[in-house]
């Protein structure tokens, strides 16, 4: 495993066209196994979710996001396709669906980006148009 610095930028635009944006930088781990690239980080530093670990599994043609801990969720991003999942929280479970409109992956070893544009539905109701941009780079030992 390699220590990395991850920059995450997420935007969400609701049905009124109002947009919100979060941006944060956190430390995580990167490794490759069986031609799958893994990016792993603790979510509390990113979104305030306590005891949640997020893992991005980057394949050649799709990305799988897995959250575990106080939230249990697995979501697949497949270009042009709708995927369904259950989002389990301490407060209840919701059905989510994601329609992936754009999926760009440019990872070269321990540097690069994953950019996803998608539409989110919760319990069958359209919620928002979203973007998720994740950039990684190997953590510098010298601190530069």
pLDDT band, very low/low/confident/very high, at 43 (cuts 50, 70, 90): confident
Residue 103 has pLDDT above 80, yes or no: yes
Q: What is the pLDDT of residue 86?
A: 95
What domains lie within the chain, and their CATH numbers? Answer: 2-137 (2.40.128.20)
Neighbours of 127 (CB within 10 A): 15
Residue 140 CA to residue 31 CA, distance in Å, equals 16
Residue 16, H or E segment:
none
The tens digit of pLDDT for each residue in 109-135 reads 789 999 999 999 999 999 999 999 999
For residue 88, the number of C-alpha atoms closer than 13 Å in the C-beta half-sphere is 9
Residues 6+ apart with CB under 8 A from 115: 102, 103, 104, 105, 131, 132, 133, 134
Q: What is the pLDDT of residue 136?
A: 96
């Amino acid at each position: 495993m390699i220590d990395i610095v991850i920059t995450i930028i997420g935007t969400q635009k609701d049905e009124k066209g109002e947009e919100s944006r979060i941006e944060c930088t956190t430390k995580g781990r990167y490794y490759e196994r069986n031609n799958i690239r893994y990016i792993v980080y603790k979510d509390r530093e990113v979104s305030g979710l306590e005891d949640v670990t997020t893992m991005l599994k980057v394949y050649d043609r799709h990305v799988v996001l897995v959250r575990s801990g106080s939230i249990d969720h697995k979501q697949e991003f497949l270009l042009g396709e709708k995927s369904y999942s259950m989002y389990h929280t301490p407060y209840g479970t919701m059905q989510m669906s994601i329609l992936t409109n754009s999926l760009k992956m440019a990872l070269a070893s321990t540097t690069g980006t994953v950019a996803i544009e998608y539409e989110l539905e919760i319990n069958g109701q359209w919620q928002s148009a979203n973007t998720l941009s994740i950039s990684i780079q190997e953590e510098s030992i010298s601190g530069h």
